[in-house]
Chains A and B, each alone.
Chain A
């Protein structure tokens, strides 16, 4: 079972954190810090497996991959195949690439919720749900379309309302004095 999935950059800032077991917020932050500590010390050409010491459980392993500026770390227990998880990380990154067109760290930063949605299609409840990239992308696209159609309607409505609210009628002079004719113009109420 996968216990946690973490993505953080070379300085330890978390870009995504998903825990599949209940931990308190403090514990979660501590786990992120400790994991970063352990993983950043590793050399480039050593194996990708670390004996994890997370929160007292002795059979936890950290399986990580380093892509450019990001570390993808999966914390798993002994029932998972290590090489299988390595493949899973690769599939995950490739899916992100497909959804975001040449994904880079900025994409992950500004679209955290989308990354969460993609991850939710792949790993559910700590177990691998779907590994076929095309399937995942299809599902994500369908959901996005649904959101857009809903949002489209509401958006249009909201835009209209706010546009009218912000309309600023130009100040109309109260008295137009054209020679002898004095025409009193009514005080038009402004829209609120």
Chain B
């Protein structure tokens, strides 16, 4: 005797009555067992009930895959009730990943050709929801037939949408649907409105997939324009209108399609202009539906080749929406403005104050959009005020926006900084507020900036010192501060600086602060590295070395290997190489800006939106980007002053092999070239340039050519100048010159001559040529007078 099965409402009642998760599971398991049994040998008339229960259980998250075959059986049954539940089950339980889904292809085919109207509708619905590419290919002809012959508009609509789905799954099918589509649009134009919305869908998809269908474009655009015009001008028909706007869904869709069609096409855009103006001015914006239409119009205007007046109108509409009280409208307005800002920058600038106000909004979505938009609106005239606003925002914004905001501010500051001092101040402020969220190269940028601004050394080191004394937790900031104090510690003690009040700072306090940084558990290993190097540098700037020596030797037994290595090297420096300590720990020369910076500036206008999306890497690695030229040690004319390139104890913070330095191309020469060396076909030429704006700087380009029959390999050129000069060697373009002189090696020397003393240059060459090692040392004679005057 069979237990009568629970009806669906009763089952639901029972599940809801279960007090605990375990109880619910029990009820469901019992019921599933029953359902399985009844699927096997139960009453076929009750099957749909069982499946309905199974679908409910599936929604709650319990496994229901054993119902898949049942769906097939139910779909095949002739009763409408069964089919209904069967198709619903197919949509929910079957999808492309299960092979079983192909089995319903046949049932669908039968239903499409022979079923009644609702049945056909059901079949199409299922096909469009879960039809895979395979199924679509099999059934495409059926659907096409329906499109051409179907009389009921209900089924026709569904057929059109199914066609859209098919095209999405398999773009090749677009060609099959093109003819019926044109026929339908033609009918639609003559007043049969019901399926217009879907027409437009279909066209949108076809056009997206076959952009090279120009013939259709000329036909379609006027028809679409006509339809839209009728919609807008005639009084609203109540059936499709929503809050007074006649069929806004259709209007929006047509506008979207017009946008795609008119995007790069002059003629189509012409025809649309009047219509767009009409829609823009006539739509009632007091309700959401009207606003939706208006937005779509604005987006379309911006995308096609529209008249200038129309564009201004569009931006004004957006501006009006920004002032609206409804947050949804404001959000959409901000999104649209973001899209527009690249093409119509000046128009959007007018709305800058409103955008900045939106920054302060409590709504997270709104403030995010406002942030992105504000960052794109910063330019050289408004940079001060905008940065002010953005900094205020940085202090209060939610954590996930901080990284974006910080990097945005830094980028804007880099591009538009009015003065170096302002730039330094801004970066300092960002580092102290949101230090943990900035990207790594902020540290490198700041140190470079400070290094470059000679007149501001005293000012920056004072500010950094005071800020560091207050708070040592923000790592990037501490690193910069430590570096600065190390470099310019003597300026800190001097006590005379026009820009800020000189605090009385003692050596002891400075050393104590650096030690505090070293010992603090908040400091990262990299920060500690900075601190110990700074201490070391101070040993030449300050009087008292004992304390420094003590600290350094303590760290000689530190657990961290990097720190230990440094400490040991520095201690050795104190002990054995004390005579060299001063030279090694001199002030660093102006560091060359690396390649990535140069490229960024060149591409800035295109890259701003993408840069805003950049994610912040986790660990700070200040080592990687510092550039230090070690060959600066070539003081004097003595040959043994040439230290090997890979010296271990570096006064800088990174060990970047000079070959990593990129070669900048020198500006054209105005001083005559000089041939300085020739041997067996290998020639060395010097050319000189003075970059404008730096009269004491001389750029010497050494070009090595090879006109002989053998290759020159392992070519190294080193130079030395008198003590009063400063010499920097940039990396050569290579170390091999192939035979017959195709590709010469070039290398650039930078010589700084502040005293305008006569220039003397000694060169040392080593290379392999014809299997022999060649070494040449010579002084360059006949240097033109212009090189040092």
Contact = CB atoms under 8 A, between A and B. Distances in A.
B239 A132 contact: yes
10 A-B pairs with the lowest CB-CB distances in the bound complex, closest first:
A125-B128, A83-B292, A47-B327, A22-B95, A46-B363, A125-B165, A47-B331, A47-B328, A29-B61, A147-B81
Contacts of B422: none
B59 A17 contact: yes
A38 to B, nearest CB: 11
Interface residues of A, number: 55
Given A24-B97, A83-B329, A126-B165, 19 more contacts: A14-B60, A17-B59, A25-B63, A29-B61, A47-B327, A47-B330, A49-B332, A51-B365, A84-B248, A84-B249, A120-B91, A124-B158, A125-B164, A127-B161, A129-B161, A131-B249, A132-B239, A134-B239, A147-B80
A117 interface: yes
Interface of B: 8-9, 12, 16, 45, 52, 55-56, 58-61, 63, 79-81, 84-85, 88, 91-92, 95-97, 118, 121, 124-125, 128-130, 154, 157-158, 161-162, 164-165, 168, 197-198, 201, 239-240, 242, 247-249, 252, 256, 288-289, 291-292, 295-296, 327-332, 362-366, 368
Contacts of A46: 327, 362-366
A109 B97 CA distance: 29
Given A22-B97, A113-B85, A143-B84, A128 B249 contact: yes
A45 interface: yes
Contacts of A48: 328
Contacts of B88: 113, 116-117, 120
Given A51-B365, A112-B59, A143-B118, A131 B161 contact: no
Contacts of B121: 139
A147 B84 contact: yes
B365 A84 contact: no
A109 B12 contact: yes
Contacts of B157: 129-130
Nearest to B162: A125
A86 interface: yes
Contacts of B292: 81, 83-84, 86-87
18 contacts: A47-B366, A49-B365, A81-B256, A83-B288, A87-B249, A87-B289, A109-B12, A110-B8, A110-B12, A112-B55, A112-B56, A113-B85, A120-B125, A126-B129, A128-B249, A132-B240, A143-B80, A147-B81
Interface in A41-83: 43, 45-51, 79, 81-83
Contact of B328 (A20, A49, A113, A117): A49
Contacts of B362: 43, 46
A170 B718 CA distance: 121
Contacts of B332: 49, 82-83
Contacts of A17: 59
A176 interface: no
Nearest to A192: B1
Contact of B59 (A16, A134, A142, A143): A16
B81 A151 contact: yes
Contacts of B295: 81, 83
Contacts of A104: none
Contacts of B96: 22
Contacts of A116: 88
B267 to A, nearest CB: 25
Nearest to A158: B45
A7 to B, nearest CB: 10
A83 B45 CA distance: 45
A36 B407 CA distance: 32
A191 B92 CA distance: 43
A146 interface: yes
A129 B198 contact: yes
A88 B295 CA distance: 16
A29 to B, nearest CB: 5
Interface in A129-163: 129-132, 134-135, 139, 142-143, 146-147, 150-151, 154, 158
B101 to A, nearest CB: 10
Contacts of A16: 59
Given A124-B158, A124-B161, A146-B118, A51 B81 contact: no
Contact of B9 (A47, A110, A131): A110
A184 B448 CA distance: 121
A188 to B, nearest CB: 21
A46 B328 CA distance: 8
Contacts of B239: 132, 134-135
Given A147-B84, A151-B81, A49 B331 contact: yes
A82 B332 CA distance: 8
B197 A128 contact: yes
B211 to A, nearest CB: 16
Contacts of B288: 83, 86-87
Contacts of B79: 150, 154
Contact of A83 (B56, B92, B158, B291): B291
A132 B61 CA distance: 33
Nearest to A17: B59
Nearest to A14: B59
Contacts of B59: 14, 16-17, 112
B84 A117 contact: yes
A99 interface: no
A25 B63 CA distance: 8
Contacts of B327: 45-47
A167 B629 CA distance: 105
Interface in A1-30: 1, 14, 16-18, 20, 22, 24-25, 29
Q: Which residue, B63, B96, B130, has most C-beta atoms of chain A within 10 A?
A: B130
A90 B12 CA distance: 27
Given A147-B81, A147-B84, A129 B248 contact: no
B328 A82 contact: yes
B536 to A, nearest CB: 48
B180 to A, nearest CB: 18
B344 to A, nearest CB: 21
Nearest to B299: A81
Contacts of A24: 97
A131 B246 CA distance: 12
A121 B124 CA distance: 11
B331 A51 contact: no
Contacts of B81: 147, 150-151
Nearest to B61: A29
A150 B380 CA distance: 76
Contacts of B91: 18, 120
Contact of B252 (A81, A129, A132): A81
B185 to A, nearest CB: 18
A108 to B, nearest CB: 11
Contacts of A112: 55-56, 59
B328 A83 contact: yes
Contacts of A84: 248-249, 252, 292
Contacts of A132: 239-240
B130 A22 contact: yes
A134 B239 CA distance: 8
Nearest to A26: B61
Q: Which residue, A47, A49, A82, A147, has most C-beta atoms of chain B within 10 A?
A: A47
Nearest to A142: B118
Contacts of A124: 124-125, 128-129, 158, 161-162
Contact of A47 (B124, B252, B365): B365
A150 B252 contact: no
A113 B161 contact: no
Q: Which residue, B8, B128, B201, has most C-beta atoms of chain A within 10 A?
A: B128
Contacts of B158: 124, 129
B365 A150 contact: no
Nearest to A45: B327
Contacts of B84: 117, 143, 147
Q: Which residue, A50, A87, A158, has most C-beta atoms of chain B within 10 A?
A: A87
Contacts of B52: 113
Contact of A20 (B129, B363, B368): B129
A121 to B, nearest CB: 8
